[in-house]
């Protein structure tokens, strides 16, 4: 069994993944870190600047394909994992990526209040610009319902520590902490 974390950037996916890993000994696989590795060490902002978002979404898809037969991992997904781009460059829900994620494991949506998410990522130079046209708020407003629909389990982190969140995921899955 695999545990998959989805949600917006800044939701806490990486922190909860690491906390859960300590409680289960499942290794954490980050789609973003794997993308950097697969791209030869180039950062995601540099990759997007050099190639574009469409090429990055294809890289994410190839990473998911490689993980199809994984077992006993925690998958920490980048905020855009559930999306592809249409011919005009607009974000659209990615059925192909969701199908693979559902095959890989149980999807946990880590949610936070919209304003909290916006505040958390403000001015973070390690994250690439999502769009030259749309604000992060408008992108989030379109993405949040897609996260909701994709999830097997939803967990609001606004009032939980990463340890409490990890325990709730374990309880939901019926797994005992080590």
Q: Is 72 annotated as a binding residue?
A: no
Please give the distance of CA 125 from its chain centroid, rounded to a whole number: 18
Terminal alpha carbon distance of the chain: 16
Contact 76, 17 (CB under 8 A): yes
Grouping H, G, I as helix, E, B as strand and the rest as coil, residue 84 is strand
Q: Is 79 annotated as a binding residue?
A: yes
Q: Is 32 annotated as a binding residue?
A: yes
Q: Is 137 annotated as a binding residue?
A: no
How many CA atoms lie within 13 Å of 63's alpha carbon, on the beta-carbon side?
Answer: 22
Residue 156 pairs in a beta bridge with 111
Sole residue written with tokens 């880590």: 110
The helix (run of H) or strand (run of E) holding residue 97 is helix 95-104
Q: Is 9 annotated as a binding residue?
A: no
Q: Is 124 annotated as a binding residue?
A: no
Contact 44, 37 (CB under 8 A): no
Contacts of 132 (CB under 8 A, 6+ apart): none
Q: Is 10 annotated as a binding residue?
A: yes
Q: Is 15 annotated as a binding residue?
A: yes
Q: Is 12 annotated as a binding residue?
A: yes
Rounded to a whole number, what is the largest CA-CA distance in the chain? 48
Annotated binding-site residues for Mg(2+) read 14
- Binding site: residue ranges? 10-15, 32, 57, 79, 127, 143
Residue numbers belonging to the annotated binding site for ATP: 10-15, 127
Numbered residues of the known binding site for substrate:
32, 57, 79, 143
């Amino acid at each position: 069994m695999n545990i998959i974390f989805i949600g917006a950037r800044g939701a806490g996916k990486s922190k909860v993944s690491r906390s859960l890993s300590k409680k289960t000994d499942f290794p954490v696989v980050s789609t973003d870190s794997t993308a950097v590795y697969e791209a030869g060490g180039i950062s995601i902002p540099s990759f997007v600047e050099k190639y574009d978002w469409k090429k990055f979404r294809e890289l994410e898809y190839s990473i998911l394909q490689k993980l199809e037969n994984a077992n006993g991992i925690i998958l920490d997904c980048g905020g855009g994992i559930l999306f592809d781009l249409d011919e005009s460059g607009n974000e659209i829900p990615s059925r192909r990526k969701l199908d693979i994620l559902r095959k890989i494991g149980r999807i946990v949506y880590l949610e936070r209040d919209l304003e909290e998410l916006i505040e958390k990522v403000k001015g973070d130079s390690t994250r690439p610009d999502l769009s030259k046209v749309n604000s992060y708020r408008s992108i989030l407003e379109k993405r949040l319902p897609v996260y909701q629909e994709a999830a097997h389990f939803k967990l609001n982190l606004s009032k939980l520590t990463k340890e409490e969140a990890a325990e709730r995921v374990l309880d939901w899955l019926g797994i005992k902490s080590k």
